[in-house]
Amino acid sequence: MNLVHIVAVCILSVFFIWILYNIPILAVGVRHLRRSGRRGRKTLPLREEKLPTVSIIVPVKDEERVVGRLLEALLRPNYPPEKREIIVVEDGSVDKTVEICREYARQYPGQIKLLHQSTSNGKPSALNSGLKHVTGEIVGVFDADNVPEPDVLLKAVAYFEDSSVAAVQGRACAINAGENMLTQFISYEEAVRYEVYIGGKDVLGLFVPFTGSCYFVRRSILDNVGGWDGESLSEDTELAARLTERGYRIKYASDVRFWQENPANLTRFFMQQTRWFRGCMEVSLKYGRLVRKLDKRCFDAEITLVGPFIFVPCLLSYLVTLYSLLAPLQPDAMSAIMANIASLFTVFLLSVAGVALIYATKPRKMRNLLWLPFIYAYWSIQNFVALYALIQIVLRRPRRWAKTEKTGAATNHDVKR
């Protein structure tokens, strides 16, 4: 084998090892999903006097199309108003967002606090500004396009009855899944990622990442770790890694559900994924020391964080396959073995995705399996996004916290009411 061939084999070997590591997680996630089925998590309701106070921070910027919908949803949950506060951090909007938020704050002075920042420094900065004004025992975070279900707070705080739980991550559902084909298969891919991958990690007691919205953290712990990293492009992922490094446990709660808007065109999707991937890559480099800790949760955190890096050799395998089709070569034994392994992994991952598509959506639909080719195409696109994010890091391009534009589209009629 020549040098190029050897390097390619080494890179692809890393990819295969990473997949092998995640197979048990995916298998456990599928088994747990099938067993849980339609059954929800059964918890005894807490008496009102035992409910903790909750502060919800909502960072907003130029969100006039969706912020009113979110505030309406946050004002009607099944939770005592005197034990809940909503802190809206308006971050230098140039549309009517501040006027809308000011009107809600005027109508609900005891429940909504409005903080206005004339200069925008990104979501992490807005979250830290809001943290200075919270009074609750539990701090929650929602984005402007979110629509939490009415029982989201009751279900979330129930997990904190376990003193070992430092934080809780809820389950995202797409409010605009039916807008077009892109939003539809993003919603299915998210169902697989939340219910199988993150769910499997939770069952095994591994690292559960924050996903940007609908997560809750004990205020005392947030104060202890110093809030959010204002320089990070993925402040949620960075915070989850920092909590894990310090021995705190994050719980995934599939019954704590909220609805959010998925990107409806490829430009918004590419920008959003690039920011997420670059942010995750930078966090993995920052917390590379986690693998040295003799703790399975810390080790798994670093393995999870390097995921976007693994997409790059995955892209290499696609290009090698394409090249072999265009310029047929006589493969050696090692290449043939790796090609067969790659095929087996692909079949396995698609099988996992297929089961998840059936069980992670309600009602269960066998015809969801028809989306498998699009899920595979979606994963393939992510490989190119990961490569672009890596190039930005290598070239040291400036970090810019670019928000994803929201339109307010809602195809789920039950939610948008």
Q: Please report, for the chain, the start and end positions of each structural domain, with discontinuous segments joined by +.
A: 1-39+52-417
For residues 189 and 197, give the distance between their C-alpha atoms in angstroms, rounded to a whole number.
11
Q: Which of 181, 172, 322, 137 is nearest to 255 (CA)?
A: 172
For residues 88 and 101, give the distance between their C-alpha atoms in angstroms, rounded to a whole number.
8
Domain with residues 1-39+52-417, CATH architecture: Alpha-Beta Complex (3.90)
b (16+ CB within 10 A) / e for 59-79: bbbbbbbbbbbbbebbeebeb
Q: What is the pLDDT along the chain (417 residues), one digit of tens a residue?
A: 567 667 667 777 777 788 889 889 988 998 888 777 655 555 556 777 789 999 999 999 999 999 999 999 999 888 999 999 999 999 888 999 999 999 999 999 989 999 988 877 889 999 999 999 999 999 999 999 999 999 999 999 999 999 999 999 999 999 998 899 888 878 888 888 898 899 999 999 999 999 999 999 999 999 999 999 988 999 999 999 999 999 999 999 999 999 999 999 988 899 999 999 999 999 999 999 998 888 999 999 999 999 999 888 777 666 666 666 666 655 566 666 666 666 677 777 777 777 777 776 666 667 777 777 777 777 778 888 999 999 999 998 888 777 778 888 888 756 654
